[in-house]
């Protein structure tokens, strides 16, 4: 108990903390979309000798397995004992707030070509203008061929941007409420300005861009109907502060927890339990869809595990005996915005991952609200693992709130609590995390699996 609420920098070898963040920064730079994270996780899993569960007729005890679910969510684990004894489970999400291209995105006005977007997840729209942006995702041509798009992050790549009004002409705009300063339909991305001249037809910038896309990638306009393309901040992750104690970067919600799970899972010693690491898509839009935590993908995986190990159990029996951490970020007190947290129940930067008994809003509505029994269990495990952590609640009562995958996994029967790294500027293009909190989050997840 004496380990709770201490500044980690004063307690732990600072060199270890700073070193741990080096590879995380690379992961964050590369894992810019949920699809990119799944590819990286699959490559890591294969490298460690894990096999695709769908390719196996039978699964042996101790054999690491993985499931790449439609390139957008990912699961890996190992069965070491009877499944009916349950799983130790860690779950994060790998989607992040962003701008998606609409299905018919390209248009032209005033000699400029632009993309229409529809934002994904909870963003402050005014944060997304006047900065370099990149384009990432997949698109299918009519012949069925698949094209992966990644434009903007290469050294010689062009970037894209969303313009804003000059202050000289912004008197009306500046009188608007922050939620209306930049409206959703104004999040239009500038993509070109050279018109194509064709005989007697009017010169067209849109045609100029389509001609370029056709020559360069073999695309036609219709192909955008068969696409999932994301507009993302083109800001490589950076050390923040003179002392380099923090990391700034896009998508740390929730890739900081996803990374900590991945490392904790692979580094876990004493793998004598049934372990499962889950990386879900779609959390930022309510965990919906076929790749989100509300889908039945975990049941699907469990039924495969039961069938392929030949063990006697039902997926429900397994879930009801399982214990998990919902590994999602929380918020830490921002000194410039005092007063949004209850000062006795707030998360603090550098004090370790934050345990939240419940999330939800307006009277715990939609919350998982973990039991005292399970908190006692988790705290026992964390203390045994010598992890420094803190308890925190996301903001003052009735000020807002939010949900995580915890409530959906708990509905399956899994005992679960939220525990994750605290962020500053959450959901912004440049979220900030403490390297000490990252390191301790990793130790917490590793310790949870081991003890």
CB of 258 to Mn ion, least distance (A): 10
Which CB atom, from 210 or from 409, has the smaller least distance to Mn ion?
409
CB of 121 to Mn ion, least distance (A): 6
- Which residues ranging from 17 to 76 are in contact with Mn ion (CB under 5 A)? none
CB of 406 to Mn ion, least distance (A): 11
- Which residues ranging from 315 to 334 are in contact with Mn ion (CB under 5 A)? 328
Stretch binding Mn ion (CB under 5 A), from 84-92, 187-195, 246-254, 353-361: 246-254
CB of 37 to Mn ion, least distance (A): 13
| Residue closest to Mn ion (Cβ) | 254
CB of 259 to Mn ion, least distance (A): 13
Which CB atom, from 33 or from 315, has the smaller least distance to Mn ion?
33
Q: Which of 135, 318, 120 is nearest to 219 (CA)?
A: 135
C-alpha distances out from residue 157 to 40, 134, 135, 160, Å: 23, 9, 11, 10
Contact 253, 431 (CB under 8 A): yes
Q: Is residue 254 near Mn ion by the rule CB under 5 A?
A: yes
Which CB atom, from 295 or from 421, has the smaller least distance to Mn ion?
421
Q: Cα(232)–Cα(444) distance, rounded to whole angstroms?
A: 30
Stretch binding Mn ion (CB under 5 A), from 217-225, 245-253, 339-347, 353-361: 245-253
Q: Cα(434)–Cα(334) distance, rounded to whole angstroms?
A: 13
Q: Is residue 418 near Mn ion by the rule CB under 5 A?
A: no
Q: Is residue 450 near Mn ion by the rule CB under 5 A?
A: no
Which CB atom, from 309 or from 330, has the smaller least distance to Mn ion?
330
Containing H/E element for 413? none
Q: Which residue has the tokens 């690379």?
A: 26
Which CB atom, from 72 or from 273, has the smaller least distance to Mn ion?
72
CB of 236 to Mn ion, least distance (A): 21
Q: Is residue 253 near Mn ion by the rule CB under 5 A?
A: yes
The secondary structure of 300-327 as a DSSP string is HHHHHHHHHHT----HHHHHHT-EEEE-
CB of 303 to Mn ion, least distance (A): 28
Which CB atom, from 41 or from 78, has the smaller least distance to Mn ion?
41
Residues 6+ apart with CB under 8 A from 94: 31, 34, 37, 38, 73, 74, 254, 255, 258, 279, 280, 281
Which CB atom, from 114 or from 257, has the smaller least distance to Mn ion?
257
E-strand ranges in 94-163 read 98-109, 112-120, 133-140, 146-151
- Tell me the torsion sign for CA atoms 270, 271, 275, 279: positive
The secondary structure of 202-220 as a DSSP string is PPBHHHHHHHHHHHHH---
Token pair belonging to 386: 């010598």
Residues lying near Mn ion in the complex (CB under 5 A):
253-254, 328
């Amino acid at each position: 108990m004496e380990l709770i609420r201490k500044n980690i920098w004063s307690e732990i070898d600072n060199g270890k903390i700073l070193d741990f963040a080096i590879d995380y920064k690379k992961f964050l730079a590369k894992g810019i979309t949920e699809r990119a994270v799944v590819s990286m996780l699959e490559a890591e899993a294969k490298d460690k000798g894990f096999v695709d569960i769908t390719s196996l007729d039978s699964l042996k005890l101790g054999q690491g397995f993985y499931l790449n679910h439609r390139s957008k969510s990912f699961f890996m684990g190992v069965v070491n004992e009877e499944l009916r004894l349950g799983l130790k489970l860690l779950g994060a999400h790998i989607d992040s707030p962003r701008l998606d291209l609409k299905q018919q995105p390209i248009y032209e006005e005033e000699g400029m070509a632009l993309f229409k977007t529809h934002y994904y997840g909870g963003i402050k729209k005014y944060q997304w203008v006047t900065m370099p942006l990149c384009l990432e995702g997949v698109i299918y041509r009519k012949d069925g061929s698949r094209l992966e798009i990644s434009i903007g992050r290469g050294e010689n790549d062009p970037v894209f941007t969303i313009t804003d009004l000059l202050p000289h002409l912004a008197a009306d705009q500046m009188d608007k409420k922050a939620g209306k300063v930049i409206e959703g339909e104004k999040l239009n991305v500038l993509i070109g300005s050279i018109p194509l001249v064709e005989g007697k037809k009017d010169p067209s910038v849109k045609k100029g861009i389509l001609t370029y896309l056709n020559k360069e990638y073999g695309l036609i306009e219709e192909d955008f109907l068969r696409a999932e393309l994301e507009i993302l901040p083109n800001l490589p992750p950076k050390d923040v502060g003179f002392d380099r104690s923090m990391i700034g970067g896009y998508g740390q919600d929730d890739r900081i927890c996803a990374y900590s799970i991945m490392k904790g899972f692979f580094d876990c010693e004493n793998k004598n339990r049934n372990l499962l690491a889950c990386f879900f898509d779609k959390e930022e839009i309510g965990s919906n869809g076929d790749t989100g935590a509300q889908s039945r993908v975990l049941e699907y995986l469990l039924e495969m595990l039961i069938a392929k190990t030949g063990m006697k159990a039902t997926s429900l029996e397994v879930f009801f005996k399982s214990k998990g951490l919902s590994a999602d970020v929380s918020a830490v007190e921002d000194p410039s915005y005092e007063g949004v947290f209850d000062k006795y129940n707030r998360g603090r930067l550098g004090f370790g991952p934050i345990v939240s008994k419940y999330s939800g809003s307006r009277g715990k509505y939609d919350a998982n609200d973990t039991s005292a029994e399970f908190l006692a269990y988790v705290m026992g495990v964390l203390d045994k693992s010598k992890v420094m952590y803190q308890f925190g609640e996301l903001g003052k009562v009735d000020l807002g709130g939010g949900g995580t995958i915890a409530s959906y996994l708990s509905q399956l029967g899994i005992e679960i609590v939220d525990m994750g790294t605290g962020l500053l500027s959450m959901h912004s293009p440049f979220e900030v995390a403490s390297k000490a909190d990252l390191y301790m989050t990793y130790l917490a997840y590793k310790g949870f699996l081991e003890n």
